[in-house]
Amino acid sequence: MHKRHVVCSRGYSYEDCQATADWLLAQAAVRPQVAIVCGSGMGGLADTLKDQVAFNYKDIPNFPLSTVPGHAGRLVFGTLKGRPCVCMQGRFHLYEGYPVQKITKPMRIFALLGVETVILTNAAGGLNQDFKVGDIMIIKDHLNIAGFAGNHPLVGPNDDRFGVRFPCMSDAYDRDLQQLALDVGQDLGYGDFLRDGVYCVVGGPSFETIAECRMLHKLGADAVGMSTVHETIVARHCGMRVFALSLITNKAVMEYDSEEKANHEEVLETSRVRASQLEKFVSNLVSRIKPSKLSNS
């Protein structure tokens, strides 16, 4: 009981999430079916929403703040090809010093807004040697190594109003949405740079050593990044469908004689180069997702 009180008082309780959702519902007329989280340098996606109502994170009650270059810190409501959406122009990462419950709180707020589908995007380093910089990887599964050791967003008292104590994750990434994304990619002529694979989350903020990259690749990861997995787990816990993609912004350094060095500038530059194609890809995907219930917006 005492422990529950401590967790609630930190601002992650059902009531805290509901208060933020109610505040947003009172400010914005759009009732979003789809929530989109923009990865590093991919915030331009949010600018493509029509009839926008946008909030700076600092003005939203009980919302975290973005601290990373390439993450603007705005929540944008609007429509994408006529579909009501909400877009996070900037996300939160463990390395910013936030507890994992805080960086995933927006997922719970989205569920309370009535969102059915979450689309997560990220920048990631390519571990799969067949991948090239600029490839888009549809995430089919993840490795949550920190989660094995207890740094997991669902640690703590479970509130059944969100979801069950022991949620299944073998279906974390919706297979129908993966197939739909492949179809969309083919239709757009993106076949040459569309891949699928396993994403591994690490804590960051340092990029990986050569030995770490080799280890993660041997463990089955095709790409490595610092986000997305925690959001996926919480979104699934709340019953939302998840589609996620990685833009391969750099090749993970796997050889000791390599002169390459991972850096955030390259990440942002690759995102900039692929920005308009990513926007097209996500907006076409959104337009082809079938809502499970009719929206009143």
Ligand X SMILES: O=P(O)(O)O[C@@H]1C[C@H](O)[C@@H](CO)O1
- Candidates 131, 110, 107; CA nearest to 227 is 107
Per-residue 3-state assignment (H helix, E strand, C coil) for 277-297? HHHHHHHHHHHHCCCCCCCCC
Q: From the DSSP assignment, how many helices (H) and strands (E) are in the chain? A: 10, 9
Residues 106-135 that bind ligand X (CB under 6 A): 122-123
The span from the CA of 93 to the CA of 72, in Å, is 14
Contact flag: residue 226 with ligand GUN (CB under 6 A): yes
Instruction: Spell out, one character per residue from 29 to 68, where the chain touches ligand X: x when CB under 6 A holds, - when not.
Output: ----------xx---------------------------x
Given 119, 252, 278, 285, the residue binding ligand GUN (CB under 6 A): 252
- Candidates 142, 124, 129, 81; CA nearest to 247 is 124
In the annotated binding site, the residues are: 40, 71, 91-93, 123, 208, 227, 250
Active site residue 21: no
> Which of these segments, 5-13, 64-72, 159-167, 204-212, binds ligand GUN (CB under 6 A)?
204-212
Which is catalytic among the residues 122, 250, 283, 284? 250
- Candidates 98, 74, 119; CA nearest to 12 is 98
Instruction: Spell out, one character per residue from 224 to 253, where the chain touches ligand X: x when CB under 6 A holds, - when not.
Output: -xxx--------------------------
* DSSP for residue 35: E
At 118 the three-state DSSP class reads strand
Instruction: Give least dist CB 228 to ligand GUN, A.
Output: 10
Contact flag: residue 229 with ligand GUN (CB under 6 A): no
CB 238 within 8 A of CB 113: no
Residue 86 contacts which entry, ligand X, ligand GUN, none (Cβ below 5-8 A, type-dependent): none
Which residues of this chain interact with ligand GUN, rule CB under 6 A?
A: 123-125, 202, 204, 207-208, 224-226, 249-250, 252, 262, 267
